[in-house]
Amino acid sequence: MTAVSLESFLDQLRQFRADASAALDAASDAAAFEAARVEFLGARSGRLKAIQKQLGGLSVADKPAAGRHFNEAKATVEALLTAAQDRVAATTAGVTAEAIDVTLPGTPVPLGHVHPITQTIRRVQEIMGRLGFESVDGPEVEDQWHNFQALAIGAEHPARDPLDNFYLAVARGADPLLLRSQTSTVQIRVMETRQPPLRIVSLGRVYRPDTADATHYPMFHQVEGLLVEKGTTMAHLKSVLRLFASSFLGGDVHVRFRPSFFPFTEPSVEVDMEWGGRWIEMGGAGMVDPAVLEAVGYDPREVSGFAFGLGVERIAARRYGVADIRDFYRNDVRFLQQF
């Protein structure tokens, strides 16, 4: 056996500890620990084993000190290995605890849905579409021609009262613009750009400075219908409204006309619908006034038409059994999620 000096033996032990410690610090999983364990402490070809073999080459006088250092180094590296294994086991357990257990039953994610007023609008569009009415839009900021004049609502008509309208500080020509107070504006806009025959329906917001209560709101929605064809009569109007009402409300609905007045229809009626034993006023209707047909360049001797305007909140409230239309706009999910 070649002689070994105590100094070189201790150097090797020091190097062994330093290398083992660095390797264990760098190891982060079970495979790396096993590799380090085999390299440093492996019983057959580990580095500690190789150092141990040199013990026999030391002088008898140095052996006790060398043996003590050897045992110390061995214990230290064994402890480092255990500590490092514990450290990684702890973090791995943490990761496992936080990980998603895909075998657990899912928690439902609450899904939103379309607002009941929008649902109502879409349903009305669909029903009217089946009756041949094309859905069209019009602007919410209107001029006085479309909101009043062309609808035969003259300059002195009380419907133009500033207290009943949201006039804007912006004018077109001499007249201030306004937030439209009715969707009848769209009748004019369509007739100005198209020729009869036509069947349109227009659903959208209208604005009036009303105090909010169970049946009023300063912003609400209307559905406007217009049909202009040769030979149109009130009988067609009533048939369309009854077909609409029974499709929308379902089952046996009665439609009743009460004589009324609107500047843009002649004759004019209020439309009531009975469903489940209760009559409700839904809006107005009538035969398009010849003056309106003339205002858009139609010949009233050639064509005639009917028009109607219903309150969307009203028909939605009726259909869903809502007592206070303000609930539609409170954004309370407990209310909205019922639809």
**Number of helical (H) and strand (E) elements in the chain, helices listed first:** 11, 10
Q: Which is nearer to ligand DAH, 285 or 315 (CB)?
A: 285
What is the token pair recorded at 166? 């949201």
Of 13 and 152, nearer to ligand DAH (C-beta) is 152
User: Smallest distance from the beta carbon of 288 to ligand DAH, in angstroms?
Assistant: 7
Does position 148 interact with ligand DAH (CB under 6 A)? The reply is: no
* Shortest separation between residue 309's beta carbon and ligand DAH, angstroms: 2
Amino acid at 125: Q
CB 12 within 8 A of CB 51: yes
Q: Which of 125, 135, 278, 257 is CA-nearest to residue 198?
A: 135
Q: x/- site string to ligand DAH, residues 67 to 96, per CB under 6 A?
A: ------------------------------
Q: Which two tokens stand for residue 72?
A: 């110390």
Q: Which of 284, 305, 313, 317 binds ligand DAH (CB under 6 A)?
A: 284
For position 262 contacting ligand DAH by CB under 6 A, the verdict is yes
- Cβ atoms of 141 and 177 closer than 8 Å: yes
The residue from 307, 315, 316, 325 that contacts ligand DAH (CB under 6 A) is: 307
- Which of 314, 312, 126, 335 is CA-nearest to residue 222? 312
Nearer to ligand DAH, 12 or 268 (CB): 268
Residue number with the smallest Cβ distance to ligand DAH = 309
Taking the complex as a whole, the smallest distance from the CB of residue 251 to ligand DAH amounts, in Å, to 26
Query: Which residue lies nearer to ligand DAH by CB, 12 or 182?
Result: 182
Of 68, 315, 110, 288, the C-alpha closest to 188 is 288
Looking at the Cβ atoms of 182 and 304, the one nearer to ligand DAH is 182
Each residue 309-328 as x (binds ligand DAH by CB under 6 A) or -, in order, gives x-------------------
Q: How many binding residues for ligand DAH (CB under 6 A)?
A: 12
Q: If residue 221 lies in a helix (H) or strand (E), which one and from where to where? A: strand 219-229
Does 305 contact ligand DAH by CB under 6 A? no
Nearer to ligand DAH, 84 or 285 (CB): 285
Residue 272: in which H helix or E strand, if any?
strand 265-275
CB of 181 to ligand DAH, least distance (A): 7
Tell me which stretch binds ligand DAH (CB under 6 A): 30-38, 45-53, 161-169, 280-288. Answer: 280-288
Which residues have C-beta within 8 Å of that of residue 203, sequence separation ≥ 6? 121, 124, 125, 135, 183, 221, 222, 223, 224, 312
Cβ atoms of 203 and 121 within 8 Å: the answer is yes
Contact by Cβ (8 Å): 240, 305: no
What is the CA 299 to chain-centroid distance, rounded?
Answer: 47
Query: Where along the sequence are the contacts to ligand DAH (CB under 6 A)?
Result: 182, 184, 224, 262, 265, 283-286, 307-309
